[in-house]
Amino acid sequence: SLDYIPPVNTENWTPMLPLSTLDFKNAHSVISRFKNPNLMAVPYAGDVMKLMSFINKFYIFFDNELLNLSFQDFEIGLDLYPVTPQDIGMEFDNKKLLYQDYISVKEVIACQDKMNLVFLSLLRLLFDSSDSDRSREHNPVASLADLQTSKKVYAKYIEKLRETSLDWGYPQEWRKQINEGDDISKPKSKMFENDDTIPVDPKNPLILTENIYEWQKLAPIDEEDNPLFVPDIEKIGILALYPNDRIILFRALVDWCSANSPKVHNEIHFLSHFKKDPTFGIQTQHVPRYFLEGSKTTMLQFQRLCEIMEIRMEVRSKRKHVKKQIAEGKNEDFAKKMEILNHIKASYSSLTAEEKKKSIIENYDNWTKLFKGELHDNPLSDPYEDELYKLRSQEFFISRIPQVGDFYIPRLHSYSDSPVSVSTYTDLRSLENLLDKFNDGKYDTHYLFENFGQALSSQFKLLYHDTPTLISDMGKPRAKKGKVYWYEMCQDSNTLLEFIDFLDYKIASPVEKPKKKVKEEVENNTSENLQAIPEAKEPEPENVETDVKNEEPENLDPTINKKPLPKESRFNASRRKLKQLQDYLKRLYHILHAFEQLKKEYAGMKSGKRTLRRIQRRITYNDSDFD
Amino acid sequence: IISPTWFNPTKRERKENYNIDGYYKDVLQTGRSSTPAQPRMPRPHAFHSHQLLSPKLKVLYEKERMWTAKKTAYTPNMDDVKSTYGDIEDESERKQKLALLKLSVQNAQPLTEEEEAEKIELEKEGFSNWGKLEFRKFISLSGKYGRNSIQAIAMELAPGKSVEEVREYAKAFWANIERVDDYEKILKTIEMEEDKIKRIKFQQEALRRKISQYTNPLFDLVLKHPPSSSNKRTYSEEEDRFIMLMLFKYGLDRDDLYERVRDEIRDCPLFELNFYFQSRTPIELTRRGNTLLQCLEKEFNDGIILTDENKKRIADEDIEGEKVKEEIKKEEAGAAKAQ
């Protein structure tokens, strides 16, 4: 009816959506299905992600030199290597290639310096308390120059750290392990031999403390094994530790900073105490809507929102009191909005339904004017713009595949105060536009250089998070320590292409042929021998399985699993989402490739106005020349 | 020119010359006065109610005191009335009491041999070896651990008192608490402290019951009375569930409980990239933990009340209902007869 105003707030229209752990409650890991030559287990990936995420969210405390770190910079700087999945947990010294074997020494040292700068920054965040300075402007606590000023730049912090870190809690790896048989929740010993059993007050016979128990205490490992007490750490910083301990200390420092650095703790308080909450409430983590639901769905949702808005305004404009108000000039706000709406509608009059939908997206700016006062944000607004979402946002997330897990591409610079226009951390419309430009070749490496592309991570890795296994381990009483949930699917644009191809095997629907084959056989049997029917039916289910394996002649290669995902219907959604992921990666490839080239061609060169002009004149070769 | 505001301060007092006699006056005074001491009214014998001595002993002490006064030929005065009977407003009453006191001194007799023996016997009965300080400690420990937790109380009273000594005293104390001065106040503080322990035990039980309701509490647990919605929510529900699960894992009566919870949060790969949860200090986690436990308490309070008080009420109501039914039947029957 005319009177009904459809509500706009029953659904949430936020650009961010919660990423729920419940999605994987009943899923089982399928990591073996993703076996391919580029698949590597990365035990330290979570810690590197954590550091990158920390630097990303709290970039105001970090030097510009650190805001474009790549995952690889951490690996090279800290000397960390991914392992093949079968080598998880094994110590092996005979690594095939070390970074210094194929990367120039200068580059390795540059990464190491940056790691020490991260180290110094975290230490200063912890102990330099200039609490008066509460501005939220970009104000780094340490720069590369600081590393060269004094030989003992870390000394005074390390000393304090050794004292205070005990109270702050040691990382798991540096705590004394509890004996296997000991149950942490059970008391270690009783204070008294026998419990109190006879009450002294017969009127109130309840015995409240029968015994006093001594509990298992947490203790740090012995000082001689404690990495914090390595003597060289004062002089040479983070590199004084063994590679594995380096990343552990980094992780611990981030933990300690979050809880104990006045600056960081204040910032977290600020980010967690806004007057309003997201429409979906406080959720553990959230991710951009267009990554969770896909860009098409997100666009459709925006169009749906516009349609609802249109109906709402039309119904309202026909109401008597509103008409009167407008006539008397009392509701100018609404009158203006109606004007905009009529303007938009007029431009639609000659369009088909399909064109109209497209034009809604193109008319984004006008439409959002109509939302003012009713909706804070919409599915297409920039998920990184509103600080409301910042603290719990997973910026590196790119996709969630049902029954499979999550995919991340850690690259820095989601938030910034610098004039970067080539960031992929933006609203869906700008992102699509950016990707299109790189796909069409309109934008290239040079364009990145001109537009401060160096402020972003130049290299990348595509990481797979085995969320199903993680979630199912959570339900178990004590999860195995040192278990790996992070895998690397590719580490540069070349291997990305290989992964994109590999996805074809997983997207493909399993062939239904085997069943028919068996049936044919059965039919053949019936025609030949009627009595054989019952016998022939029995082996059917088994045959299906074995036949599927035999169907794939290519599957002989042991390094790659070309089997499709299981054919159960619950994997159909996985296939759909994988296709979405593949499409996105195909488009993302060009810009990621350009970023890699940026590092190769313009390594560290600062773009000023003069250099820019000269470079534009000088570079006349095209891609084929370069190869 | 002297300023008009000049107020002419007093002259600084000069240091007195060093007075040797003055210095040694105190040092040489050995306590014995050269003048013979005035006979004094002996002070009442110290009688601490918490030592649980027989009231009869007080009578004996008083008799002894009067006799000592008589021996020294002392005449009581108004000050003695005050120290014996306390402040009395009424003038005439005060005089009466003085007369009474004088009379008792005049008539005083030494303790008889039997009385002497009884006194020694009665003194043995009480707990004269429990000082005021020990008593105060005993009271606060009875609150801290609960009154019946003798071993725990004794542990903190050692080495002054053995477990058996404490047990004996505690038994006597609870049997004769009315004889102790200010016992209402003492009892109230103990009960208040005991309630705290009971509350934690109740919370522990509520937590156990709540968690046992779910096969996978980390994902499925739902609070019936979630934390107040008027407060700013900063923890996600998932985080709340994790805290509760960890409280259950470690139990509520460990002193390093929330340090453990903090470490569990850090160690849990589920929260690897969750800076809010990881930034919570043990103090902040304690606050959240208590809030959550209160919510649980509320949930299980309903159930507990039903089992205790309401059961009786429901039973009573049933009996009442039966009675009413009977009466109605009778009335109907009566009415039918009348018709």
Beta-carbon neighbour count of residue A160 at 10 Å?
12
What is the largest distance, in Å, between two alpha-carbon atoms of chain A? Answer: 100
Query: If contacts are CB pairs under 8 Å, which of residues 216-245 in chain A contact chain B?
Result: 217-218
Please tell me if residue B273 touches chain A, with a CB cutoff of 8 Å. yes
User: What DSSP string runs through A493-554?
Assistant: HHHHHHHHHHHHHHHSPPP-HHHHHHHHHHHHHHHH-GGGHHHHHTTHHHHHHHHHHHH-GG
User: Does residue B304 have a pLDDT over 80?
Assistant: no
Please tell me if residue A509 touches chain B, with a CB cutoff of 8 Å. no
Look at B305 and B148; give whichever has higher pLDDT: B148
- Chain B residues within an 8 Å CB radius of A169: 259, 262-263, 266
- Least confident piece of the model among A145-154, A538-547, A568-577, B179-188: A538-547
Label each residue of A356-417 as H, E or C: HHHHHHHCHHHHHHHHCCCCCCCCCCCCCCCHHHCCCECCCEEEEECCCEEEECCECCCCCC
Q: Look at residue A273 and give its three-state secondary structure.
A: coil
User: What DSSP string runs through A168-189?
Assistant: H---GGGBPPPPTT--TTS-SE
Asked whether the beta carbons of residue B238 and residue A21 sit closer than 8 angstroms, the reply is yes
Nearest CA to A58 out of A590, A415, A572 is that of A415
Mean pLDDT along residues B288-316: 76
* Distance, CA of A203 to CA of A463 (rounded, Å): 66
Confidence band of B190 (pLDDT split at 50, 70, 90):
very high
Pairing of strands A486-490, A462-465: antiparallel
Q: What percent of chain B has pLDDT over 90?
A: 27
Query: If contacts are CB pairs under 8 Å, which of residues 54-93 in chain A contact chain B?
Result: 54, 57
Beta-carbon neighbour count of residue A520 at 10 Å?
10
Query: If contacts are CB pairs under 8 Å, which of residues 221-260 in chain B contact chain A?
Result: 232-239, 249-251, 254, 256, 259-260
Mean of pLDDT over chain A = 83
Annotate A498-509 with b (16+ C-beta within 10 A) or e (fewer): ebbebbebbbee
* Distance, CA of A25 to CA of B49 (rounded, Å): 66
Please tell me if residue B147 touches chain A, with a CB cutoff of 8 Å. yes
* Distance, CA of A399 to CA of A380 (rounded, Å): 17
* Distance, CA of A521 to CA of A267 (rounded, Å): 70
What is the largest distance, in Å, between two alpha-carbon atoms of chain B? Answer: 124
pLDDT digits 0-9 by tens, A369-410: 888 888 888 999 999 999 999 999 999 999 999 999 999 999
Confidence band of B227 (pLDDT split at 50, 70, 90):
confident
Annotate B175-212 with b (16+ C-beta within 10 A) or e (fewer): eebebbeeeeebbeebeebbeebeeeebbbebbeebbe
Look at A583 and A561; give whichever has higher pLDDT: A583
Which range has the top average pLDDT, A521-525, B125-129, B317-321?
B125-129
Confidence band of A536 (pLDDT split at 50, 70, 90):
very low
pLDDT digits 0-9 by tens, B245-268: 999 988 898 888 999 999 999 999
Asked whether the beta carbons of residue A208 and residue B218 sit closer than 8 angstroms, the reply is no
- Least confident piece of the model among A551-555, A582-586, B42-46, B324-328: A551-555
pLDDT digits 0-9 by tens, B8-41: 667 776 665 666 666 666 565 555 555 556 666 6
Mutate to test the interface with A, among B149, B155, B280 (most CBs of A within 10 A): B149
Mean pLDDT along residues A405-420: 86
* Distance, CA of B273 to CA of A49 (rounded, Å): 8
Asked whether the beta carbons of residue B218 and residue A474 sit closer than 8 angstroms, the reply is yes
Q: What percent of chain A has pLDDT over 90?
A: 43
* CB contact at 8 A, A591 and A425: no
Look at A181 and B101; give whichever has higher pLDDT: B101
> Would you state the pLDDT for residue A541?
41
B76 vs chain A: nearest CA distance in angstroms?
45
Mean pLDDT along residues A94-105: 83
> Would you state the pLDDT for residue B246?
93
- ipTM of the complex model: 0.87
Beta-carbon neighbour count of residue B230 at 10 Å?
5
User: Does residue B107 have a pLDDT over 80?
Assistant: no
> Would you state the pLDDT for residue A604?
66
Asked whether the beta carbons of residue A208 and residue B263 sit closer than 8 angstroms, the reply is no
Label each residue of A407-444 as H, E or C: EECCECCCCCCCCCCCCCCCCHHHHHHHHHHHHCCCCC
B159: cis peptide before it, omega within 30°? yes
Q: What percent of chain A has pLDDT over 70?
A: 84
Asked whether the beta carbons of residue A200 and residue B239 sit closer than 8 angstroms, the reply is no
Look at B28 and B192; give whichever has higher pLDDT: B192
Please name the helix (run of DSSP H) or strand (run of DSSP E) that holds residue A462, with its range, or none. strand A462-465
Please tell me if residue B43 touches chain A, with a CB cutoff of 8 Å. no
Q: Residue B308 carries which DSSP code? A: I
Pairing of strands A286-288, A40-41: unpaired
Nearest by CB to B146, which of A207, A258, A470?
A207
pLDDT digits 0-9 by tens, A298-329: 999 999 898 888 888 888 888 888 888 888 87
> Would you state the pLDDT for residue A626?
46
- Chain A residues within an 8 Å CB radius of B277: 284
Bridge partner list, A464: A407, A487
Query: If contacts are CB pairs under 8 Å, which of residues 458-477 in chain A contact chain B?
Result: 470-471, 474-475
User: Does residue A259 have a pLDDT over 50?
Assistant: yes
B131 vs chain A: nearest CA distance in angstroms?
20
Mean pLDDT along residues B46-57: 78
Confidence band of A527 (pLDDT split at 50, 70, 90):
very low
* Distance, CA of B241 to CA of A88 (rounded, Å): 31
- Chain B residues within an 8 Å CB radius of A471: 270
Mean of pLDDT over chain B = 80
* Distance, CA of B147 to CA of B145 (rounded, Å): 7
* Distance, CA of A475 to CA of A437 (rounded, Å): 46
